Structure 1
């Protein structure tokens, strides 16, 4: 009898287990099926992506056939291609655009560069070049752009008629590049302001000297105009009137002082003839 009861109990346990399994399948089956399907789909997408990438990197469809440049004035396309290593036949998908931009930007005339891929087989390169605004003496002669950045050592082939900025040395620049660029920007602002008041080539600016006491302009005829610090526009207007008066009288100045801080409206003129000197003329 005891044996029979044990056998019945095993049947009951088996039945209960079966029912429990059926209940688990009913409650968790849909979710489990979705997880299996999602895993399979993910694997398919990953595999497909790998195969697609392999095809894209090997397909002749995406081989570079043409590179176009825009914005070039002084830099040559061949020079930029040589710097970057970009050549016909390279795969567009495999190009490192950021690396191409960095290497092309190493060209001294290039200020900014942007490389774009145009699928299936071309690349465009948009370049912004430095615009030279002055020459600076920093040991050697350097070209300085409109932002006050010395960007290139002057070479024999650089035929440019630009004002010279002096008064800073290479050690000053290396010690504090930001401060030096700011000083150059100030000098360029004065040069532009002077050009607006004296537009003729005869009166062009030859040099901007950054002296301890302030800016000094050296004009094409050798005249020194000592501006000092501040109030640049008003001083340039006074300089223009003084030079007009000197021309009307047939005189030429060696030095024109406009840096009198105690009496800002006063101008002192030292004529180019040592025997003649006028000072304290209010303008």
Structure 2
């Protein structure tokens, strides 16, 4: 048997030894990093940072933020990660004035609730009080106002009914520039048209129309007004076609303005 000394492969190939050392160092660094990450996670879940510290509400106009937070059931100090976002969304959306809700977590400990309210398309007048009417046709009887609102027309002689819901749905489709011209809307049913309505405009004109397809027909109002004699007030009929009837004129003296 040969007495020659056996030389280790690491001595014969120094680069291989260095590579193994680097690999061991990287493995060590990885284990240390994982250890510290796990420690940070444990510390985070044991600290106040993992509890809800802030609840932010946005998108609301008429519904108060504290009312929305109360509906959500959220409380400061609740575990940030145990919150059921879908359940909160469902609870907040039960409010009659809220049409949509989006609830999100914002790291490290903030909950954001973004809502969208149903539009208030008109106000129902009863006595000296004004009750908002939503685009769904719902009358908000608990939100009666004593100050005269100016952001939507007034509805006269209306009750909670299918007619009101249909009227609200039509008003939602009316452009704001035209909606702002309407002062009052009266339900004035006729034998031939149970859905007949009478509008009093801010410019002194009167409009005779029907609820069905009202939003589409009232869009012609600005064009009709442009073709009327200056200073001449009267009734604009929008039931079938559209024409103008000056106050004090007989049927044969009606002025046709638009068809």
- Fold match, TM over 0.5? yes
Provide the C-alpha distance between the structure 2 equivalents of 1:113 and 1:265, rounded to a whole number of angstroms.
Answer: 42
Provide the C-alpha distance between the structure 2 equivalents of 1:160 and 1:150, rounded to a whole number of angstroms.
Answer: 17
1:219 alignment partner in structure 2: 201
Work out whether 1:281 is the aligned partner of 2:258: no
Structure whose alpha-carbon radius of gyration is higher: 1
8 Å contact kept, 1:115–1:123: yes
Work out whether 1:165 is the aligned partner of 2:155: yes
Q: Give the counterpart of 1:258 among 231, 237, 251.
A: 237
8 Å contact kept, 1:71–1:128: yes
8 Å contact kept, 2:130–2:146: no
Task: Give the SS at the match of 1:169.
Answer: coil
Task: Give the SS at the match of 1:267.
Answer: strand
8 Å contact kept, 1:134–1:143: yes
The structure-2 alpha-carbon separation of the partners of 1:151 and 1:168, relative to structure 1 and needing over 3 Å to count, comes to closer
Deviations 1:238-259 (A, max 9, x none): 74146x4150xxx543xx1525
Q: TM-score, normalised by structure 2?
A: 0.59
1:125 alignment partner in structure 2: 113
Provide the C-alpha distance between the structure 2 equivalents of 1:125 and 1:194, rounded to a whole number of angstroms.
Answer: 31
The structure-2 alpha-carbon separation of the partners of 1:218 and 1:156, relative to structure 1 and needing over 3 Å to count, comes to same
Work out whether 1:84 is the aligned partner of 2:72: yes
1:267 alignment partner in structure 2: 244
1:66 alignment partner in structure 2: 54
Aligned residues: 203
8 Å contact kept, 2:104–2:111: yes
Gaps of 5+ in 1: 1-54, 174-178
- The structure with the largest helix share of the pair is 1
Q: TM-score, normalised by structure 1?
A: 0.55
Task: Give the SS at the match of 2:86.
Answer: helix
Task: Give the SS at the match of 2:229.
Answer: helix
How far apart are 1:91 and its partner, in Å? 0.9
Gaps of 5+ in 2: 1-41
